[in-house]
Amino acid sequence: MGSSSGEIGGLSVVVPVYNEVNAVLPEIRRIQQVLAGLKCPSELILVDDGSTDGTADLLKQADDESFLLIASESNCGYGASLKKGIRQAKYPVVAITDADGTYPNEEIPAMLEKMRDADMVVGARTGDKVHIPLVRRPAKWMLNKLANYLSNADIPDLNSGLRIFRKKVAERYFHILPSRFSFTTTITLAMFADGYRVCYHSIDYHKREGSSKIKPSDAIGFFILILRTITYFSPLRTFVPLFLLFASLGGVKLAYDIFVLQNITDTTTFILLSALQVILIGVVADLIVRRGDSER
């Protein structure tokens, strides 16, 4: 995949909103102050995702020419809201952030400068003040390590919701970007897998207003998503470790059968055939991916 760089041309900020009645208006004002200081044209797009706590009415009352409001009658999901906003963006560079007060949007100008030599700049939550609930940290650490291994990249923050990217690059992945919270995880892995230039900018992460929409049980979904996404782009990163596992178990069992039992058992044959099947599936999948890349 080719990379692009150069002039910014303009910035569209997309903010998905769902049940943020206490935080959304102050956050809008903060973002507008940031955009007012930019040296390029900009716009603010708010996507209300079927809020039920009064947020929708609040945004309709505050709606003016200073931002574009896209309202959904039902809750479609975080990723679906982002895709709606990105489609409506009129500038070639898009920033996404949250409406809950967690992200330091004053970092957008510094991140935008880095976009001149990148395809995506991610706000990595590695600053001095990072408020991530303790209950989510072990799962987050394990998922990040898995993503680093499978993508063969150093990813300091897999699913940060503050990032800037080129609209045309994001639109390439709309067909695989989920409608729920895993939008950011998927686009991170996809852009690394396809060789786009992704850089990170250290940020703080504040305590959110209201309650989080992410549940501890979502970690299982993120785990499956990481495996699926990497398998989609680089199948051998998933299938080779499985092959080595089965082959090692089969080799040990074969040695035991020969030297101890003096008879090769059905279990050993099954394990070795499973190893062969796994690596053949991986090779075929990799050939399909490579052929698809060459045709694009």
In the 3-class helix/strand/coil scheme, how is 19-69 assigned residue by residue?
CCCCCHHHHHHHHHHHHHCCCCCEEEEEEEECCCCCHHHHHHHHCCCCCEE
pLDDT surpassing 90 at residue 129: no
Do 94 and 86 form a contact (C-beta atoms < 8 A)? yes
pLDDT value for 166: 96
Residue 40 reports pLDDT greater than 70: yes
Which DSSP state fits 207? Answer: P
Please tell me the predicted confidence (pLDDT) of residue 295.
54
Instruction: Give per-residue pLDDT as tens, 209-243.
Output: 655 555 555 667 777 877 888 888 888 888 999 99
- The yes-or-no verdict on residue 283 having pLDDT over 60 is yes
Per-residue model confidence as pLDDT tens digits over 179-204:
877 899 999 989 998 889 999 999 99
**pLDDT for the residue numbered 29:** 94
Q: Under DSSP, is residue 157 helix (H, G, I), strand (E, B) or coil?
A: coil
Residue owning tokens 């898009």:
94
What is the SS3 assignment for 195?
Answer: coil
Q: What is the pLDDT of residue 229?
A: 80
- Quickly name the fold that domain 11-233 has: Spore Coat Polysaccharide Biosynthesis Protein SpsA; Chain A (3.90.550)
The order of strands in the sheet holding 198-202 is 68-72, 42-49, 11-17, 93-96, 163-166, 120-124, 198-202
Residue 136, classified by CB atoms within 10 Å of its CB into exposed (0-12), middle (13-18) or buried (19+), is middle
pLDDT for 133 equals 61
What's the pLDDT tens digit per position in 51-65?
999 999 999 888 677
Question: Which tokens sit at 139?
Answer: 């799962």
Mean residue pLDDT across the chain: 88
Query: What percentage of the chain carries pLDDT values higher than 90?
Result: 62
- State the DSSP code for 179: S
pLDDT classification of 104: cutoffs 50, 70, 90? very high
pTM across the whole model: 0.79
Minimum mean pLDDT among 118-127, 189-198, 284-293: which range?
A: 284-293
